[in-house]
């Protein structure tokens, strides 16, 4: 009886070991590799990191933080509540306008000091701070 039990145990262990060895020899399943996302790796075409608040300024020819270097314009009051703002960077007779409704900034120019900066249907007027008009309608102000 002891011999039968010992023989059964040896056969049972050999089959269980053979199964494990067989599983180890199988090729591992290939998992789809996702590209590693690097924190701070969100640089745009100019090398500006949006996650750090930087935007490319063509006027300054560098990455800037609008809230540090730009002039903030508030949405014009018309009885409604808005949470949007616009920023303007000035450099001599040029102004770069950043609107949340535009993908690219708008470069405005003025002919001489005291005049308004214009481009197409946009007009930035230095009056009681600044007034930004589009098609003659006030859209942003700054006092």
| pLDDT averaged over every residue in the chain | 80
Candidate from 31-35, 58-62, 70-74, 120-124 with smallest mean pLDDT = 31-35
128 to each of 41, 86, 114, 121, 138, how far by Cα in Å? 42, 17, 13, 21, 13
Q: What is the pTM of this model?
A: 0.64
Tell whether the model's pLDDT for residue 56 goes beyond 80: yes
Q: How many CB atoms lie within 10 A of CB 72?
A: 13
Q: What percent of the chain has pLDDT over 90?
A: 37
Highest mean pLDDT among 4-8, 53-57, 71-75, 76-80: 53-57
């Amino acid at each position: 009886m002891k011999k039968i039990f010992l023989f059964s145990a040896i056969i049972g262990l050999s089959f269980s070991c053979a199964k494990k060895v067989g599983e180890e020899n199988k090729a591992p399943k290939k998992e789809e590799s996702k590209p590693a996302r690097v924190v701070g790796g969100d640089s745009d075409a100019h090398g500006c990191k949006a996650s750090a608040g930087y935007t490319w300024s063509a006027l300054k020819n560098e990455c800037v933080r609008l809230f540090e270097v730009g002039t903030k314009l508030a949405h014009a009051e018309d009885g409604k509540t808005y949470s949007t703002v616009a920023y303007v960077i000035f450099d001599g007779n040029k102004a770069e306008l950043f609107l949340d409704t535009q993908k690219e900034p708008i470069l405005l120019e003025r002919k001489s000091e005291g005049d308004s900066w214009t481009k197409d249907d946009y007009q930035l007027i230095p009056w009681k701070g600044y007034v930004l008009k589009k098609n003659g309608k006030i859209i942003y102000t700054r006092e």
